[in-house]
Chain A
Amino acid sequence: MTGAEAMVKCLEAEGITRVFGYPGVAIAPFYEGLYNSSIEHVLVRQEQNAGHAASGYARLSRKPAVCCVTSGPGATNLITALATCYADSIPIIAISGQVSSELLGRDVFQEADMTGATRSFVKHSYLVKDPDDLPRIFKEAFYIASTGRKGPVLIDVPIDVQNKKLSREFKYPDEVNMRGYKPEVKVNLQQIKKVVAALDKAKKPLICAGGGVILGDGEEHIRAFCEKFNIPVVSTMMGIGVMPKKHPLYFGMLGNNGKPYANKAVGRSDLLIIVGARLADRAIPKPENLVRRVGVIHIDIDTAEIGKNMGPTIPLVGDVKDIFEALMEQEIPVADQSWIDELEEVKHSTVDPRVFSDKLVNPNLLVQMLSEKMDDNAVYVADVGQNQLWSADNYVMKNGRFMTTGGMGTMGYSIPAAMGAKMYDPSVQAVAVCGDGSFQMSMNELATIRVNQVPVKVLVMKNRFLGLVREYQYNTYDSHYSGVRLYDWPRYDKIAEAYEMPFFSCSHDADLEKTLDEFLACPDACLMVCDVDSEDRVK
């Protein structure tokens, strides 16, 4: 058996049935292996999108997904997707072809030092030197990607290693044995006691749920805990989806792009329980000031996140499910209803100062209506820009998934990620929502969607600008709009026609409901464009 055949066997052993990729000579032996296997290869139109598609696939399946690229430019094109997965802790396995071992370091055609170049964007990486190492390396890679704090793992395989025969019979290991990687953490009962004592004293406890809750499959646990002890919840952008939007204990997304009343809830609480969030600058601008005033319990699977941006009063390291299972059994007083009532009052007295144009489609109304009309378990993928913030602000979470790149903010994520999610579960409705800027960063994937008959719905909020930068220039540079005009092209109807996709468009709120109904009822992949006023702002 050759190294390439072994790589395919490893993927089969991990239960992988589909990979996203883009071939080249340096990865050709692996593609020959795929040709002879039952694994489906999905040819994307640019390597970065193979990574984003794998990301969407992994987020819905909650298991590592695989992408594969060739050496040199193929591999470097993938780096943005790796960085995106790393920032959001998404488990993907990236396989890159590499030039022949004896040519490494000679700067030959299509050689790029991938393990070196991706060092700060992957959880771990391998440069394979011997085909006999492949089974162990694949086993380790899947284990590392999917345990502890999840993340991308890169396996760089020189072409000669793919071609060389294994010296012994292929055997996929049953378990891993890495002396430097032990992700299992036992819940520290001493710390649990401290948490209970803090909750015992707190009059106004508040949970802040981050993306780690979803990565740790802990949504149900958080919901059960907050309901049992009557503790209100806010979320970060990555934590949207932990709580249903209309849950009586949910008070929205915090942060400088979040709900003012969510930030007020943080300000008024006396004990903040942060779960699976790193609280970066966009969530809490000056964490040190907050810590001086309120007690902070920081729960995370990654020890290094605790205290990185905010010194906690009580650190608690571990798996979200284990920790909340332990907490559910503790004697904790049920929080007073007056605290919830106070937050309700804050919520209802907060007036939205924004005024939206009534000439075109109101983006808030669009997101609300769209997400209300979507299936209960639908996947909503928000891209990056004003569309993302309007989406996060107005998305009506029922029992589906809200996906976006909260950490890296990578434009062009939504179309390939929605495609990946839809390919994992064709029964789930998947909608990519993007702006006219982000759409054009990955519109080439409409071909992949069309060819593979993946009925993804793509909705573009078109305002002829890179809206979020324009808004920044409006606020910061006296409306000097520099480099942000997209003008009126492409003609979206022609794009849809070129890919032979049904097309819908809407320019007025009055037509919105009808058009959305048609768009959502369409059984095929389809494109919808909503004209949004460029003066409409997120703040």
Chain B
Amino acid sequence: MKGIFSVLVENKEGVLSAISGLFARRGYNIDSLAVGETDDRSVSSMTIVSTGDQRTIDQIEKQLNKKVDVIKVRRLDEAKSISLEMMLVKVSCTPANRSSLIELCQITGAKIMKVSPKFLLLEYHAEPEGVEDFIDLIKSYGILDIQRTGTISLSKT
């Protein structure tokens, strides 16, 4: 099963390493990790997505809660939260197939950030599955470079 954790932590050096170390030490998998400051600069917010059986996901929550620098852990229910991921991608194209790629961007809502003779640099954001679908669509053009933010989530309530 998938576990999405929204974690508030002290914004201090070593905290990210402590959190990632917790996963590494116990053999838990991190599917994605997004970190940023909150409106309170002393607090960072992390969205951590992990997969494992029920016991593993429960243990992750408990172990996160044990960390002194972890202020709050919330486990998000996929159905009751909004999850988004953003990516930047350089897609190879030639004058011959550029227009079909531009058309694809218009249909999917991807934003063209830069046009060059050999590629288009696109920005795309969607729910995590949507990002995967978009990558499948553009694969045939040739992906030169890709950068994904990882999932960020907030509960709807």
A124 touches B14 (CB 8 A): no
- B55 A307 Cβ-Cβ under 8 A: yes
Q: Is A502 located at the chain interface by the 8 A CB criterion?
A: no
Chain B stretch 8-28: residues in CB contact (< 8 A) with chain A = 9-10, 13-14, 17-18, 21, 25
A180 to B69, CA, bound (A): 5
Closest A residue, CB atoms, query B62: A304
Answer whether A180 and B63 are a contact pair too, CB < 8 Å, given A116-B17, A119-B18, A119-B21.
no
8 Å CB contact of B68 from A120, A124, A307, A311: A124
A320 to B12 alpha-carbon distance, docked (Å): 34
CB pair B14 A127 closer than 8 Å: yes
Contact residue among A115, A123, A307 (Cβ-Cβ distance under 8 Å from B14): A115
**Most chain A CB inside 10 Å of its own CB: which residue of B62, B66, B70:** B66
For B42, give the chain A residue with the smallest CB separation.
A179
A144 to B66, CA, bound (A): 11
Contact flags (1/0) for A129-167 with B, using CB distance below 8 Å?
000000000000000100000000000000000000000
CB-CB under 8 A from B62, the residues of chain A are: 303-304
- Report yes or no: B68 in contact with A178, Cβ–Cβ below 8 A: yes
Q: Are B65 and A304 in contact (CB under 8 A)?
A: yes
Q: How far is the CA of A178 from the CA of B55 in the complex (A)?
A: 29
Q: Known interface pairs A304-B59, A311-B55. Does A180 touch B14 (Cβ–Cβ under 8 Å)?
A: no
Across the interface, do B59 and A180 meet the contact criterion of CB distance under 8 Å? no
Interface of B is mostly: helix
Pick from A123, A303, A311 the residue with the most CB of B within 10 Å: A303
Q: How many residues of B contact A (CB 8 A)?
A: 20
The smallest beta-carbon distance between B96 and chain A, in angstroms, is: 51
CB distance from A278 to the nearest CB of B (A): 12
Is B67's CB within 8 Å of the partner chain A?
yes
* In the bound complex, CA of A125 to CA of B67 (Å): 11
Chain B contacts for A304, CB-based, 8 A: 59, 62-63, 65-66
A120 touches B14 (CB 8 A): no
Interface size class of A (residues with CB under 8 A): 10 to 19
Q: How far is the CA of A233 from the CA of B66 in the complex (A)?
A: 30
CB-CB under 8 A from B65, the residues of chain A are 303-304
Report if A180-B10 is in contact (Cβ < 8 Å); known contacts: A116-B17, A303-B65. Answer: yes
Contact residues in B for A115 (Cβ distance below 8 Å) = 14
| Contact of A376 with B by CB under 8 A | no
Q: Is the CB of B59 within 8 A of A144?
A: no
Does B71 lie at the interface of the complex (its beta carbon under 8 Å from any beta carbon of A)?
yes
- Give the residues from 166 to 194 in chain A that come closer than 8 angstroms, CB to CB, to chain B: 178-181
CB closest residue in chain B, given A127 = B14
Say yes or no: B21 contacts A180, CB within 8 Å. Answer: no
Q: For the complex, give the distance between the alpha carbons of A311 and B58 in Å.
A: 11
Question: CB-CB < 8 A to A119: which residues of B?
Answer: 17-18, 21
> Would you list the 4 A-B pairs with minimal beta carbon distance, nearest first?
A304-B62, A124-B68, A180-B71, A181-B68
| 26 residue pairs bridging A and B, Cβ less than 8 Å apart | A115-B14, A119-B17, A119-B18, A123-B68, A127-B13, A127-B14, A144-B68, A179-B10, A179-B71, A180-B9, A180-B10, A180-B67, A180-B68, A180-B69, A180-B70, A181-B68, A302-B66, A303-B62, A303-B65, A303-B66, A304-B59, A304-B65, A304-B66, A307-B55, A307-B58, A307-B59
Q: Which A residues lie at the B interface, using CB under 8 A?
A: 115-116, 119-120, 123-125, 127, 144, 178-181, 302-304, 307-308, 311
